Copies of this chain bind each other. A is one copy, B any other.
């Protein structure tokens, strides 16, 4: 089973990478950009075939390793 995890900074947490991307896009002439935020996406192939069990397992992985839950949100999506 394929699972995709999005990890993004919580609203209000400074995102210097996003700000740098925005400045670069501005300087390349792309106008009309209000905000840019950058995050991570992790795609996992699991042997587990039960959707609920896979979701629970991946949420545990996020809490323990993948996300820093003090400053980051995560969302789990079954593909």
Contact = CB atoms under 8 A, between A and B. Distances in A.
Q: What number of copies of this chain does the assembly contain? A: 2
A32 B47 contact: yes
A33 B44 contact: yes
A16 to B, nearest CB: 14
A36 interface: yes
Contact-size category for A: 20 to 34
A47 B34 contact: yes
A33 B8 contact: no
Contact of A39 (B25, B32, B40, B46): B40
Interface of A: 6, 8, 18, 21, 24-25, 28, 30-48, 57, 60-61, 64-66
